[in-house]
Structure formats: C-alpha cells, structure tokens
Amino acid sequence: MKTHGEIEAAICDGIIRFEQEYMGRGPKDIHTYLISDLIVVRLRGVLTVAEQQLVTSLPAEKGRDLIKQVRTHLIETARPVMAPMIEHIVGVKVVSVHHDISTSTGEEVILFSLEKAPAFRESRR
C-alpha cells in the first residue's frame, strides 16, 4: 500500500506522461493534492507557443474561449485514458473529471472526483 505522498507523486508522473503524449510537452511545474475523495492536479506553464500566440493575436475573449474549448475537449476525449490511470494508482473508481485553464497565467487544474477516499498507509517519520 502506498503512502499519501507516494500516491500524489505517482499521479504527477502519470499526468506528466499524459501531457507529453497528448499535448506534445509537459508542464513546467505540477502538484497533486489528495483531499479525501478528491484529487486536484495543478499544472503551471502548460500553454504551448501556438496557444500563447492565439491569446495575444485574437481579441481577449475569443482567444481565451478557443483555447479553453480545445483543452476541455482534449481532456474529455482523453478521459478513457486518464481515469483508468488514476484508478490504477489509487485503487478507487473515478466518478467524474473536471478541468479549467487560465490563458493569462498558463495554469491548468484537473479535478478527479472519486467513489470514495482511497486507503493509504501512514509514512514513517
């Protein structure tokens, strides 16, 4: 059985691999927070050069909305890949996946809602 920290680290590794394979590059920074039956993954520095160009070249709302729509669609399309990865790591069924991205800060948040809080062992200190 994994510790709380080992679960969070394994999720970070899995999400980085996903980002590299599906988006072509990984985030500059990533943190995962396991909070009861929720997993919050916070990625920083995820916008590609092309996405940054869209934000600056189009009217603010249009560029932002376009990037949010594409990223949300990619996450929804990739749910059959992401959910089993998370389920394998935590040993609990994923109920839902939520996503948002900020085009001004380049920060992305993915939230996984679980059927129940996963079991983990206490770390030795």
Backbone angles phi, psi at 102, to 5 degrees: -105, 120
pLDDT for 125 equals: 66
Determine if the pTM surpasses 0.85.
yes
15 closest CA partner among 96, 69, 7:
7
The residues spanned by each domain of the chain are: 4-114
- Determine contact, residues 43/107, Cβ cutoff 8 Å: yes
Residues 50-80: pLDDT tens digits? Answer: 888 888 888 878 888 999 999 899 999 999 9
Q: Provide the residue count of the chain.
A: 125
4-114 folds as Threonyl-tRNA Synthetase; Chain A, domain 2 (3.30.980)
